[in-house]
Amino acid sequence: MNPHPRYPSTSPRSRSPARVWQRPWSTVSTMAVHSFTLVPAAYVYLLRPAPDAPAGRTGSPGEPGSRSVSRSESMSVSAATQVLLQLRQNTGYMDGHWACGASGHVEDAESVAETALRETREELGVSVAAADLSPLTAMHRTNDLGGAALEQRIDMFFTLRAWEGAPVVREPTKNAGLRWFPLADLPEPVPPHERYVLTLLACALDGGKPVPPITTFGFDAGQGIARYGVALPH
């Protein structure tokens, strides 16, 4: 009788199953699952009221920390809310696009919240309290165009309405300039996955559905992933 019923017996009749069971999980996964690279990143959208926005416009149930706004006011919430974007240059990725003011990949031994705080400090020169970061959505994204390699990303989006200091360009070789834009009137071009998230936010602020906690991008036709380029072999 096997003295350890939770584990496979090593008797001659079950020796082969035992060897399979004892394989490292990494070996089993490599055999059973297609290999791909998963890249986590943090995005922080600084938001502020537009200079000509009616007093008290702070958002809607579509964003954490916001409140309802009277529909009798002429300016929509998304038009009265500005987002800070940077014009990318010399990075090899979405150069010439207006993109998130502060974003970057998660580094070793770093949480995504720590990445958000670090990137905001490094790229914009402002100090941020972790409690002021409002999670917006987590996006599972791919830019694979059918090649042999599959690259997928997990993008964690945050909004920020309180910080210390004035945002400035801290990396001029990568950032050609900062500018505030109304959420209802984004510039061209904006990276497609970012425009998707910002459009969801604008709709939510104007009384539409809340931004889903989990979103996907690049898996459906018509989402413009050809602009990202083909994933390289890993």
79 assigned to some structural domain: yes
Give the residue numbers spanning the domain of 217. 38-221
189 assigned to some structural domain: yes
25 assigned to some structural domain: no
CA angle at 141 for the pair 30 and 77, rounded to the nearest 5°: 155
The predicted-structure confidence for 65-80, as pLDDT tens digits, reads as follows 343 444 445 679 999 9
233 assigned to some structural domain: no
178 assigned to some structural domain: yes
21 assigned to some structural domain: no
Q: Looking at residue 214, which CATH number applies to its domain?
A: 3.90.79.10
Looking at the 3D structure of the chain, how many domains does it have? 1
115 assigned to some structural domain: yes
145 assigned to some structural domain: yes
Contacts of 154 (CB under 8 A, 6+ apart): 38, 39, 40, 41, 138, 139, 140, 141
Kindly report the pTM of this predicted structure. 0.76
The predicted-structure confidence for 152-206, as pLDDT tens digits, reads as follows 889 999 999 999 999 999 999 999 999 999 999 999 999 999 999 999 999 999 9
